[in-house]
Amino acid sequence: MGFLKTSEEVAKIYQETYDFYDAEMLTVFWETKPEIIRRLLPPPLKPGKRPLVVAFVANYPRTNFGVSYLESALFLRAEFNGEEGNYCLAMPVTNDMALGLGREMFGYPKKIGGIQFTRQGNDVVGLTERHGLRFFEVRAKLTGNLNVEDAPSIFAEVFSIGANPVVITYNFKYFPAPEGNGFDYHPRLIREEVEFRPRSLEVGEAEIFLKASNYDPWAEVEIVRVLGAIYTIGNNSMRKGNVVAEADPLAFMPYAFLKWDF
């Protein structure tokens, strides 16, 4: 493998799906204030049916692109052209190659961070920090019960839950112009599908702690009501994405700094 790739090497890089094997994930859900969702969603995205937030901590021990790493993420429920999905606000990772692939191909707002993920018995803990500050912490007890009684009906209302659920994600792909006066091209809204094939799934009650940070302001997404946690182990596949819209550069500019610590 040198600086110049052969056609065979290039073919191996661009795969039909990017697969994660034995992925261990703790996903938590909470309701926030509708005005927070409206303020943080760039047009043309619109708020979903409910002001829901989805966050996770994950361990990816093996992938088909040769990288093992940990990841956490923060999403808002959003809608585009009548189709709901998850808009990614932040995605810390522990590996630079995972960062580059996700940011440059799909537009994920990834940064390098410190992530811990442990399970002891029915207790699962996920921690995320950067610049010496732990800004996201989740603790779940896999009791079989969620935090609130209506959580299952809310999940069924807004998520397509089946044997192999597919989750739609929305990201904006953009690059600052070298002249320092805008973008190389109009920011592009990317729609992507992620298929989950869990071998095991457990639910539990979650405690979520958000701490204010100048660089990772997850605490802006205020917790109104915690719904619960889902712990899974299985194989996931990121399918190819596609451009579904372009954003007005001037209108998008305030939203364009998720990937840097300005």
Confidence grade of residue 180 (pLDDT, cut at 50, 70, 90)? confident
The CA distance from 133 to 260, in Å, is 16
pLDDT in tens, 66-97: 999 999 999 999 999 999 999 999 999 999 99
**Count of domains forming the chain:** 1
What's residue 20's pLDDT?
Answer: 97
The predicted-structure confidence for 103-152, as pLDDT tens digits, reads as follows: 999 999 999 999 999 999 999 999 999 999 999 999 999 999 999 999 99
In a domain, 2, yes or no: no
Q: Residue 262 falls within a domain, yes or no?
A: no
In CATH, what number is assigned to the domain containing residue 181?
A: 2.40.400.10
Residue 261 lies in a domain: no
Provide the pLDDT for residue 161. Answer: 60
Residue 7 counted as domain residue = no
The pLDDT of residue 9: 85
pLDDT at 225: 98
Residues with Cβ < 8 Å from 137, sequence gap 6 or more?
125, 126, 127, 128, 208, 209, 211
Tell if the pTM clears 0.75, that is, is over it.
yes
Residue 15 has pLDDT above 90, yes or no: no
Q: How far is CA 197 from CA 22, 122, 151, 194, in A?
A: 10, 22, 22, 10
Q: What percent of the chain has pLDDT over 70?
A: 97
Q: In this predicted structure, what is the pLDDT of residue 2? A: 85
Query: Residue 164 has what pLDDT?
Result: 73
- Looking at the chain, the whole-number percentage of residues with pLDDT higher than 90 is 89
Tell me the pLDDT of the chain averaged across its residues: 95
Q: For residue 21, what pLDDT is reported?
A: 98
Taking 90 as the threshold, does the pLDDT of residue 157 lie above it? no
Side-chain-facing half-sphere of 204: CA atoms under 13 Å:
21
Does residue 22 lie in a domain region? Answer: yes
Domain assignment of residue 30, yes or no: yes
Q: What's at 168, amino acid-wise?
A: I
**Band (163; pLDDT cuts 50, 70, 90):** low
- Concatenated DSSP letters for 9-41? HHHHHS-SEEEEEEEEEEEEEEE--HHHHHHHP
| 4 falls within a domain | no
Alpha-carbon 243 to chain mean position: 18
Range of the domain at 126: 13-255
- Contact yes or no for 224/30 (Cβ under 8 A): yes
Which amino acid is present at 41? Answer: L
Please indicate, yes or no, if residue 260 is contained in any of the structural domains: no
**pLDDT tens-place string over residues 183-236:** 999 999 999 999 999 999 999 999 999 999 999 999 999 999 999 999 999 999
pLDDT at res. 162:
63
